[in-house]
Amino acid sequence: MNDSRPFGAFAPTGLTRWVIDRTRGLPEGWVGRRLALMLRHLAMKMLNGLPLDLETFGIRMRLYPYKNVCERRILFTPQYFDADELKILAARIRPGFTFIDVGSNVGWYALFLAREAGPAVATRILAVEPQPEIFDRLIYNIGQNPSCTVKAVDCAVADKTGELTLFLDPLNRGEASLKIVNSSQTDAIRVPAVTLVELLKREGLTRVDAIKLDVEGAEDLVLDPFFRDAPASLYPSVFIIANVPERWQTDVIGLLKDKGYRQILATKMNLVFERS
């Protein structure tokens, strides 16, 4: 369950604080990552199911690392968390910068970019998250960073507008999808859904700089109708999509290339495409 007590009520102390400081200071590379993993296992045994309140790269967040891989990564090793992808996005920040984070989880991408932009740069940043429990955490984290202008939207993005079934992984709440993508997904909830074109229309957006699309294998369901129905003026300059081609029923990479995008980065987690 989420806890609404004031930020700081769950500040890490003692050995837990020491482990977090050590894992956050480890360098990139195999040795650093292996050591971070071992220290993380040690800390997880001491947490007793409580959340932790920390400031990470200037961003205040309450994190529940038990059944959410995303929150564990932010807590222990934020220096590794999609660092190249975030650098690509941060380099494009300018007045009027518009970013849509579809599958925002607890808001790391959205809050990071809002903090990078700073209050002096006018931006539009949407954090879209359909799971009620995770959405509550997202709202809480946004509230702890009042200088970061992020709007949270509680819906799924899909191939049609309406109410749809969202399948949840009980072992990793960050892995929720409109498709059943592994055998552990036994929980399901009904959530409101919109198409990407409808989302942009509702928000009054006429141009978008970047979209991150991480919907656990349903990226094809989102992109097919988007490119069918959206005018080219709505195509973002940058698309970051989850690197899960084995889950797609259509050739998402080919679709993006047909629309004028070229791949500029491939990591284990994501693919990044840029359109001139």
Q: Domains plus CATH for the chain?
A: 14-79 (no CATH), 83-275 (3.40.50.150)
Q: What is the pLDDT of residues 229-262, one digit of tens each?
A: 999 999 999 999 999 999 999 999 999 999 999 9
The Cα angle at residue 181 between residues 179 and 185, in degrees rounded to 5: 95
The percent of residues in the chain predicted with pLDDT above 90, rounded, is 86
Res. 184 pLDDT band, cuts 50 70 90: low
Encoded tokens for 115: 């903090």
Closest CA to 79 of 47, 45, 36: 36
The residue-averaged pLDDT of 131-137 equals 96
Q: What is residue 101's predicted lDDT score, i.e. its pLDDT?
A: 98
If you write DSSP's letter for every residue of 110-123 in order, what string do you get?
HHHHHHHH-TTS-E
Mean pLDDT of the chain: 94
Could you give the percent of the chain with pLDDT greater than 70?
98
| pLDDT surpasses 90 at 194 | yes
Higher pLDDT, 270 or 49: 270
Parallel/antiparallel/unpaired status of strands 261-266 and 270-275 = antiparallel
- Number of other CB atoms surrounding residue 45 within 10 Å: 8
**Residue 211 class from Cβ within 10 Å (0-12 exposed, 13-18 middle, 19+ buried)?**
buried
Q: Is pLDDT above 70 for 183?
A: no
Most confident of 45-54, 170-179, 225-234: 225-234
